[in-house]
Each structure stands twice: as structure tokens, then as C-alpha cells.
């Protein structure tokens, strides 16, 4: 088996720095991890790149929810992609589906041109698409994607080991297993799937005391202001 690659999902530059210090091989930079990760700012990427020497993969996702975007959302994604490429990202994570849940090949083609010569990852939109892996993975490779991020079409990667193994066996793209990966299950996950790349999201709660006692909430909806927190990697 090849060396196991550890990728850490980060929601800030602080997270990126801590991940690198902890020995991560690669990071995925996002904003708004509490909704699954959205596109980070150019400033966040620039700051991250000045502070770490490991590859930084940048999420391209303009909003929470599904992966069938309006025309203006798609244009925004293209603009974000070009600007983040100029800022020096090592790669991108993205996913495009049709309204019916199939791979949107046309938008993938357009977006890949905007991404340029970067590592391209098709993220967990793969986990809800209707295409079978044997059919869609070769097509993703042809489109220019190097890797997929997947939990095996289950809520967690440990629950999706059969599908992850199936994707590994197709063999045309790298498989990055993510979703519910923890220190206590990662060894079994690797052994049972043959997957040699894993994606962690390891966070703790850290209070921002500036909101203590406030009547207004500026964080996650319906969470009391006394419990608002920032995602900080440990």
C-alpha cells in the first residue's frame, strides 16, 4: 500500500496552521464549515499560503444546500476560481449536478477550463449523484478530475466502506475517504477499502467572549449566544 495521505478540512487560516503543525499532508480550506464548507476568501488563501508549505485545496461552493446552481451562482464560481488560482491555490474541490441529480458534464467542462493547471477534486456531491461509480469515475477522469472525496454514499465513511472499496477498484481516479473519519476507525477503514487517502475534520469549541450576554445572535441560528463558537482545529 502507498503512504497514507492525511488531509485536514479547515475553516480558517488558524486551522491551516495548526493542521500543518500537527503533521497534515494536505489541507482543504473552506469558510462556514457548519454548513459543509463554502468558498473561502482570497485573503484567507493568501495568508495560508504564506504560513504553510503543504498543499492547500480550496473549496468552490457559493452556498449551502445542493449542487445545481443558478447561472449567476455559476458565474460567481468561475470568477472565484480564477481569482483563487491567481492567488496560488494548489487545487480546487467542487461538484456540479443537474436538477435531477446526475453529473453536470457541461458545467464541469467550463469550470475545468477556468481552474487551469491545478489539482481538481470532485467533492461529496459524488455521494448524492445518481450516476454509478463504474460509469461516472472514468468520465470524471476524462474531464480532468484527479480525485473524489466520498463517504461511500453513506452518512459516514465507515458506513460506506463497500462503496469506497468499489470506487478504489475502478481505479481511474484517486479516492479520498471523508466523513466521520476518526483516530479510532481510520485504520480499519484503510484496511477494508484499500483507500490510502483520508479526510479529517477535527474541531473543538472555542468561545468568542465578545458576544457574552448579548441579546442578538451573529452565529449559527437557534444556538444560544452563550454557546456561539468558532471552529478551531486541535
User: Alpha-carbon distance 20 to 13, whole Å?
Assistant: 11
User: What is the band of 69 on the pLDDT scale with cuts at 50, 70, 90?
Assistant: very high
Over residues 132-138, the mean pLDDT reads 97
State yes or no: pLDDT of 198 exceeds 90: yes
Q: Which residues, at least 6 apart from 71, have a Cβ–Cβ distance to it below 8 Å?
A: none
* C-alpha angle 58-25-166 in degrees, rounded to nearest 5: 80
Mean of per-residue pLDDT scores for the chain: 91
Averaged pLDDT, 183-205: 90
pLDDT of residue 123: 97
Structure confidence at residue 232 (pLDDT): 47
- Look up the CATH number of domain 5-201: 3.20.20.380
What's the mean pLDDT in 222-232?
43
Strand (E) or helix (H) holding 58: strand 56-59
- Residues linked to residue 91 through DSSP beta bridges, in sequence order: 57, 119
> pLDDT value at position 149?
98
Exposure class string for 70-103: b at 16+ Cβ within 10 A, else e: eeeebebbbebbeebbebebbbbbbbbbeeeeeb
Q: Is 220 helix (H, G, I), strand (E, B) or coil?
A: coil
pLDDT of residue 230: 46
| Mean pLDDT for the stretch of residues 136-157 | 97
Hunting for cell 472525496 — which residue is that?
149
Arithmetic mean of pLDDT, 127-148: 97
SS3 149: strand
Domain ranges for the chain, please list them.
Answer: 5-201
Q: Give the pLDDT confidence of 76-111 residue by residue, as tens digits.
A: 999 999 999 999 999 999 999 999 999 999 999 999
Cell of 45: 488563501
Of 86, 96, 138, residue with least CA distance to 116: 86
Biggest alpha carbon distance in the chain? 55
pLDDT band at 220 (very low <50, low <70, confident <90, very high): low
Average pLDDT over residues 8-34: 95
Q: Residue 225: pLDDT band by 50, 70, 90 thresholds? A: very low
Q: What is the pTM of this model?
A: 0.90
Higher pLDDT, 234 or 162: 162
Amino acid at each position: 500500500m502507498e503512504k497514507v495521505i492525511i488531509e485536514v478540512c479547515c475553516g480558517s487560516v488558524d486551522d491551516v496552521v495548526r493542521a500543518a503543525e500537527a503533521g497534515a499532508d494536505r489541507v482543504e480550506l473552506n469558510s462556514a464549515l457548519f454548513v459543509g464548507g463554502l468558498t473561502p476568501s482570497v485573503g484567507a488563501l493568501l495568508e495560508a499560503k504564506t504560513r504553510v508549505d503543504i498543499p492547500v485545496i480550496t473549496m468552490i461552493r457559493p452556498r449551502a444546500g445542493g449542487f445545481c446552481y443558478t447561472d449567476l451562482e455559476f458565474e460567481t464560481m468561475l470568477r472565484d476560481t480564477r481569482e483563487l488560482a491567481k492567488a496560488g491555490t494548489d487545487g480546487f474541490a467542487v461538484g456540479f449536478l443537474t436538477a435531477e441529480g446526475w453529473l453536470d458534464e457541461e458545467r464541469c467542462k467550463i469550470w475545468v477550463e477556468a481552474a487551469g493547471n491545478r489539482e481538481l477534486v470532485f467533492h461529496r456531491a459524488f455521494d448524492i449523484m445518481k450516476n454509478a461509480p463504474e460509469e461516472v469515475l472514468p468520465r470524471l477522469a476524462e474531464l480532468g478530475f484527479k480525485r473524489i472525496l466520498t463517504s461511500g454514499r453513506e452518512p459516514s465513511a465507515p458506513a460506506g466502506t463497500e462503496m469506497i472499496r468499489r470506487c478504489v477498484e475502478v481505479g481511474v481516479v484517486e479516492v479520498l475517504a471523508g466523513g466521520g473519519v476518526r483516530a479510532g476507525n481510520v485504520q480499519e477503514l484503510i484496511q477494508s477499502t484499500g483507500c490510502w487517502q483520508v479526510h479529517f475534520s477535527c474541531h473543538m469549541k472555542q468561545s468568542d467572549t465578545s458576544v457574552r450576554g448579548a441579546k442578538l445572535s451573529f452565529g449559527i441560528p437557534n444556538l444560544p449566544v452563550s454557546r456561539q463558537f468558532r471552529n478551531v482545529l486541535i
